[in-house]
Amino acid sequence: MKIVSAFNRDERLQQQLQKDFPNVQFTFYKNMKELGDSIIDADVLLTFGEDVTEDIIDSAKKLNWIMVFSAGLEKLPHEKLMERNILVTNARGIHKIPMAEFAFAYMLQYAKQLETFNKQQDECIWNRQLPLRELYGSTLVVVGAGAIGSQIAKYGRTFGMKTIGINSSGKPVEEFDEIYPMSELKSALTMGDYIISVLPSTKATNGVFQKEQFEAMKNSAVFINMGRGNAVNETDLMEALENDELAHAFLDVYQVEPLPTDHPFWKSNKVTMTPHLSAISDQYVPRAMEIFRHNLTVYLNGGNDYINKIDLRRGY
């Protein structure tokens, strides 16, 4: 069996794979362009999911399975994959710890005014009069109560926050004090001091946060988007910030990436931006590789107990 990878990362992990699966031919390339004709007879493709086109699928005559080493699936050619009945699995769930830590880095930066203190240090200003807040006792609303959202809520409880989760069904989730269905999003938003979106990119999540959702939030609320940029109408968000309908926004994802240099987010003092990296950590690839190793064992044994088997019709 032949497995080709469209990325070339940790050589030690590659060697361990070859040792543990001696009857499998592994070939690692730096990117999809380098694969060349090797994709033609590949049984399995490893990718980060942003470089798979319909032409590549057409060229891969023997392809049975794609393992996506990320959670994002929106750029895959879903119709073509369904037509070929190609199995797709991803690395959903490995992002929960780094993203939850990043969420609290945002919130603590805001509550403790760390950015202002950094500016004061640059200007040699000794000012102890800044208003500082506690996370304790505040309400955290997490839109997307899956693995990432649950980890954020778990940390929220540690900080003494009330945790409210939003999912599609309203079905209870252990880490949250309260759960509401997406149909009751607006009423849940009225309670949030910190509102975090970790929604994936699907047709159902497109434009979830628009003018009426921002109007429902407290004027003192902090909005954080760490899921996908398509969930937010950026014009409506900017307008809400300018009209003091929101206190601040922390954004890691955007409708267009990289964010255009003329975008108003760049110069707003009510927006703090990071370049879509909240899921990155030194444990990213090792965690994704563990999922792949499990799924490869299942694949070789003809089983069906895959981790993160994707329903391409639903998009997750």
Domain count, the chain: 2
Residue, of 201 and 253, whose pLDDT is higher: 253
Residue with tokens 């997750």: 316
Kindly state whether residues 106 and 63 are assigned to the same domain: no
Do the domain assignments include residue 267? yes
Do the domain assignments include residue 136? yes
Q: For residue range 252-304, what is the model confidence (pLDDT) as tens digits?
A: 999 999 999 999 999 999 999 999 999 999 999 899 999 999 999 999 999 99
- The DSSP code sequence of 126-183 is ---------STT-EEEEE--SHHHHHHHHHHHHTT-EEEEEESS----TT-SEEEEGG
Do the domain assignments include residue 278? no
At 52, is the pLDDT very low, low, confident or very high (cuts 50, 70, 90)? very high
Do the domain assignments include residue 131? yes
C-alpha–C-alpha distance, residues 67 and 52, integer Å: 11
Q: What is the mean pLDDT of the chain?
A: 95
C-alpha–C-alpha distance, residues 202 and 315, integer Å: 6
Q: For residue 9, is pLDDT > 80?
A: no
Residue with tokens 């950015």: 115
What b/e readout covers 209-234, taking b as 16+ CB neighbours within 10 angstroms? Answer: beeebbebbbeebbbbbbbbbbbbbb
Do the domain assignments include residue 54? yes
Query: What is the average pLDDT across 177-191?
Result: 97
pLDDT of res. 201: 87
Do the domain assignments include residue 52? yes
pLDDT of res. 283: 92
Whole domain around residue 171: which residue ranges? 96-273
Q: For residue 203, is pLDDT > 80?
A: yes
Do the domain assignments include residue 313? no
Kindly state whether residues 24 and 125 are assigned to the same domain: no
Measured CA angle at 103 (ends 98, 106), to 5 deg: 125
At 313, is the pLDDT very low, low, confident or very high (cuts 50, 70, 90)? confident
Stated as kind and residue range, the H or E segment containing 4 is: strand 2-5
Kindly state whether residues 223 and 116 are assigned to the same domain: yes
Kindly state whether residues 85 and 207 are assigned to the same domain: no
Q: For residue range 88-146, what is the model confidence (pLDDT) as tens digits?
A: 999 999 999 999 999 999 999 999 999 999 999 999 999 999 999 999 999 999 999 99
Q: Read off the CATH number of the domain in which 186 is found.
A: 3.40.50.720
